[in-house]
Structure 1
Amino acid sequence: MSTFLKQFFTWWNGNQLNFRFHLWRNAEKVGEDEFGNVYYQGGKDSEGRPRRYVVYTDISEPSLIPPGWHGWMHHKTNVAPPSAAYEAYEWQKSHRPNLTGTVSAYRPKGSLHHTGERPRVTGDYDAWSPGE
């Protein structure tokens, strides 16, 4: 399927054409992140703050927004990461994809999918049974 048709008929493959037309008329480009997502700002929201938008590179995946851009998108800061005044905090981690549903997903002890045996129930546990 061509890129044009994907953008015309689906919202999860990039952005629809009407959204891009809106950005072209009402927003200015602020920057781009390491994943190729492009960030825009333009217009005002209901609280009088500037509207902020992201155009994803490929599939619309909000977990691909890096921490600095996430703070800017949600109005936690007015300094966007490409700005010289932007400084990342030491506790900010680089992006890791959501691995839920994959072989690499987190599986704590006691999980049915955890390798090995489940821990034994200790004496401080009383099983509930109906009618008690």
Structure 2
Amino acid sequence: MASLLKRLVTWWDGDSIGTRLFTSRFGNKVGEDAQGNVFYSNADDSRRWVIYDGDNDATRVDPEWYGWLHHTFKQPPTEAPLAHKTWEKPHQTNLTGTDGAFLRQGSIRRADVKPASDYEAWSPE
């Protein structure tokens, strides 16, 4: 019951009931990306949207699909895939603020930081 109520009134923790109803009534499935996100458009292609697989995080949308969602590309990547460069890397989640975040050497947040050995505290004699 709590999950149903949560779906009725929230959108940030997945799609809402309203989004599901709108999608079932007006949505045409266009495709799916490697992360499991499903992309839809309406009949005249004036509206495009995504239902995320997991948390609603726009950084999880691939660049091809992002371009299609924002009407930069007329055809979805399923019909007209973009050519990828050899230097392009796969998406990595943003770990800022988590235990997996990158910390420079010498950062006081790192566990392996040792006190400086070139310093001696002055003590009056």
Q: How many residues align?
A: 112
Superposition pairs for residues 1-132 of structure 1, below 5 Å? 4-42=4-42, 50-83=46-79, 85-90=80-85, 92-108=88-104, 113=109
Instruction: Indicate how the Cα distance of structure 1 residues 2 and 37 shifts in structure 2: closer, same or farther if over 3 A, else same.
Output: farther
Give TM-score, length-normalised by structure 1.
Answer: 0.67
Instruction: Indicate how the Cα distance of structure 1 residues 32 and 101 shifts in structure 2: closer, same or farther if over 3 A, else same.
Output: same
Contact kept? 1:66, 1:94, Cα under 8 Å? no
Instruction: Indicate how the Cα distance of structure 1 residues 92 and 100 shifts in structure 2: closer, same or farther if over 3 A, else same.
Output: same
After superposing the two structures, state which structure 1 stretch, 6-15 or 104-113, moved more: 104-113
Give 1:88 deviation, angstroms: 3.1
Instruction: Indicate how the Cα distance of structure 1 residues 75 and 108 shifts in structure 2: closer, same or farther if over 3 A, else same.
Output: farther
Instruction: Give, in whole Å, the separation in 1 of the partners of 2:53 and 2:38.
Output: 8
> Aligned Cα RMSD in Å?
2.7
Local SS of the residue matching 2:34: coil
Give 1:27 deviation, angstroms: 2.2
Give 1:8 deviation, angstroms: 2.3
Local SS of the residue matching 1:50: coil
Which stretches in structure 2 are left out of the alignment for 5+ residues?
Answer: 115-125
Larger Rg: 2
Give 1:111 deviation, angstroms: 5.9
The one-character-per-residue Cα deviations of 1:31-90 (angstroms, maximum 9, x if unpaired) are 01111111011167xxxx72110001122111111121111112221221222x312331
Instruction: Give, in whole Å, the separation in 1 of the partners of 2:106 and 2:74.
Output: 44
Instruction: Give, in whole Å, the separation in 1 of the partners of 2:107 and 2:3.
Output: 41
